[in-house]
Chains A and B, each alone.
Chain A
């Protein structure tokens, strides 16, 4: 991996490791403190497995008071803290530091309350996203944001990264689906914001914390809104002979007043790759393949699906399939959801990027990416959450070839810059973390970044909470990161990533 610049190491912290471990034992049970090499190894990286660093120690507190005491102690002693949920994040947000304590929230794994009267669930922050839905589905409810890692990712991590999923256009991201949080700021203050009501009085602190990537506070509890499942869900699988037709179809669907639950586009390279891998029955001659999912009442879904079919025809679609049952709908998705392993089968390594662009710019973006792909002589396949403009270009390459790897990094940075140039942003759902940190100046000027740093400083005076993440250290647009997978050795190979 490229040389990653991390915050300056505080040798004095490393020297007083034994003192720190001794103190930590006063705040939590001794077995919750890990410092032996074999114990802390699993914590040396997160979902962005290309970066590795052994932490000074790992502490796994059991309750909010313990978190508060640990943070206060670290604040007083100038010790850095790296909060960590399930460690599934794709931007290196939980990457440890040599002189920092990793504070894992793995023991915050209980659902505290299922409150159907208030249509919410109160969960400790280490509870997995999917287990919330599991806890309420017997009454027909679910939790809407569905990041692809929902089987393993924690709800606290979802708050930190403002996780989305494929249904964000209609149902929003985490920030739109939570009612309250409990958090601890670096000086140890425990603060509850929001609760079981809609909105809250005063500043929307919850909205600020959501997506702050663990830099402003440690989230210990989350109250999420639950929704009733819709009555009917169906999907359309539509092939186009040009990317432009596919892109225009997206715009026309939205312009007609339809808000699909999900809308995905794949380019030809990915259609072929996923169809080879998952045998999804995709039209292999299509240049662009679109999956449109609609939900609502039965007659509404049937009607909208027909409208979508008509719009597709007007945009020169050359194939159209409508799901007749749940099995077919899932089959439509099977290839798309296998995008990552399919890329893994094409070459030893791949990088997945996560820019967002205005929907209408898809054709331009893909054309430019094609040009860049030629320029760098690297294959790029593209998946696009067309509903919400989230573009995932995936570069396939051989990391064993140093030159290829260098070109991959350069190409990745150019693609993200392109997203910003087209009116989009660097990251739609993976977060900035360490991987896009040095590209922040593509989007923000000094004033913008200073304002954000000023907020950081107001809640963490000494910059001890998750330092080195999100904000540029180098202050240059470096060529860094993306989801990096080497020879299928993804950190969480069993998680579908889409």
Chain B
């Protein structure tokens, strides 16, 4: 860094919001905040700031200037980007080469204020919330090949690389993904990309029988017909506390019947899709059920709406994200009955649940139940009157014990997003 740049930098450290232009700047800022014991909040575009605890920090580190595609080699199936790059830019770039991020990013903008806002890749990676293809193609963490970043002492560090097979040193990409910015300030991320399939189709099975839904999820996962998405969208409870928007959101010409439905997606070439549909008609005994089929255009739109969490668009209520073992999805469906607005993704494993404002006690009950059935839970969005004092993310004691040690090894003075995820780290 030139002397002049250093001088400018000193000045910028005086302001509450620090906006570095490059990795070296980030490192310099952190060196100083480390020395001065100044906790900092790390932000990209602020699209997910509502997730996790609110932070009261002396400084905010805004990495949105660290933006741009560093290297994209479609035939090598990777893209290297700066951490502040908008996720939408990455998706557009990949789309031009008929490629995609297979983990199907979720757009949290809709539950925040009703508008699309996918935020930056750094923010997205920090949360590790994968969309509908998760059960088939892995989570965000499975698609991170490497990263560069700055640890809590201001040291620039890197891990991984650009190749898929790599056991050279600890796989820090995994532990950094989903750490909510509590371990490093990400500056550069290398993501594995995948080819888009030429076509897709979605079959909806109209049913309200939760036993049947659970069985169908199991059969879908036991099938070799490569289903790449499987959700159950029950009718909303007739309760003023929840908005009744299901029919409006999932309004499709070819969705023939009203009521709750389970939908699954097939992707591939048309011939293969038809072949698999035939197989599945037998495996799932579709002739005994009421079904609808969505063509490619409707199918694409359908899964966008699922992954935009549009059912909870503009909600003023609390949104919970719970993951349970497949064998326990029936229990959770029975527990939720029609008292809550919810839907199930990942072929029976991921539940998005809306809990009405001022009903925090119910969050406590749900959390207890989820833990009893060996699942885990995060309170993603909190209502205005939220006053729940328990942890927003579940964790057991031993894991917290080890997590604290890991936190200390990256950020010994606990200056990165302190308490964002768990109060102790």
Contacts and interface: CB of A to CB of B under 8 A. Distances in A.
A173 to B, nearest CB: 7
Contacts of A191: 398-399, 401-402
A205 B327 contact: no
A69 interface: no
Contact of B170 (A202, A208, A255, A299): A208
Interface stretch (A45-53, A236-244, A351-359, A488-496): A351-359
Contacts of A390: 163, 165
Interface stretch (A15-23, A364-372, A373-381, A447-455): A447-455
B170 A198 contact: no
A39 interface: no
A312 B175 CA distance: 40
A247 to B, nearest CB: 11
A3 to B, nearest CB: 24
B271 interface: yes
Counting chain A CB atoms within 10 Å of each CB, the highest count among B165, B218, B271, B324 belongs to B165
B171 A210 contact: yes
Interface stretch (A97-105, A162-170, A264-272, A314-322): A162-170
Contacts of A176: 138, 142
A36 B183 CA distance: 47
A385 B403 contact: no
A67 B421 CA distance: 32
Contacts of B159: 448, 452
B64 interface: no
A207 interface: yes
Given A440-B169, A448-B169, A459-B402, A202 B395 contact: yes
Contacts of B194: 259
Given A190-B398, A199-B130, A258-B195, A455 B409 contact: yes
A424 B78 CA distance: 13
Interface in A249-283: 251-252, 254-259
A217 to B, nearest CB: 9
Contacts of A161: 167
Interface stretch (A6-14, A58-66, A73-81, A227-235): A227-235
Contacts of B350: 198
Contact of A203 (B167, B175, B218, B269): B175
B93 to A, nearest CB: 15
Interface stretch (A26-34, A112-120, A123-131, A337-345): A112-120
B405 A425 contact: no
B76 A257 contact: no
Contacts of A359: 75-76
Contact of B166 (A196, A356, A459): A356
Contacts of A205: 175, 399, 402-403, 406
B151 A451 contact: yes
Contacts of B170: 208, 211-212, 216, 452, 455
Contacts of A400: none
B168 A303 contact: no
Nearest to A471: B169
Interface stretch (B219-227, B336-344, B357-365): B219-227
B77 to A, nearest CB: 6
B269 to A, nearest CB: 6
A73 to B, nearest CB: 20
A200 interface: yes
A137 to B, nearest CB: 13
Nearest to B197: A257
Nearest to B349: A198
A425 B163 contact: yes
A454 B394 CA distance: 26
Contacts of A450: 155
B194 to A, nearest CB: 7
A297 B218 contact: no
A325 interface: no
B128 interface: yes
B175 A208 contact: yes
A432 interface: yes
Nearest to B130: A199
A432 B171 CA distance: 13
B405 A458 contact: yes
Interface stretch (B248-256, B310-318, B372-380): B372-380
Contacts of B224: 140, 228-231, 297
B114 interface: no
Interface stretch (B28-36, B104-112, B272-280, B300-308): B272-280
Contacts of A428: 163, 165-167
A86 interface: no
Contacts of A200: 376
A192 B376 CA distance: 14
A162 to B, nearest CB: 5
A118 B157 contact: no
Interface string A168-201: 1100110110000000010001111101111111
Interface string B384-414: 0000000001111011111101111110000
A251 B409 CA distance: 40
Given A205-B402, A458-B409, A211 B167 contact: yes
The 5 closest A-B CB pairs, nearest first, are A207-B174, A257-B195, A428-B165, A300-B272, A117-B327
Given A164-B165, A203-B178, A299-B275, 5 more contacts: A297-B268, A297-B279, A358-B162, A423-B163, A447-B157
25 contacts: A169-B164, A191-B401, A193-B402, A196-B374, A197-B324, A198-B139, A198-B346, A203-B403, A203-B407, A204-B128, A208-B171, A211-B167, A211-B170, A212-B171, A216-B170, A231-B224, A356-B161, A388-B163, A389-B163, A424-B163, A436-B168, A444-B158, A451-B157, A451-B172, A454-B410
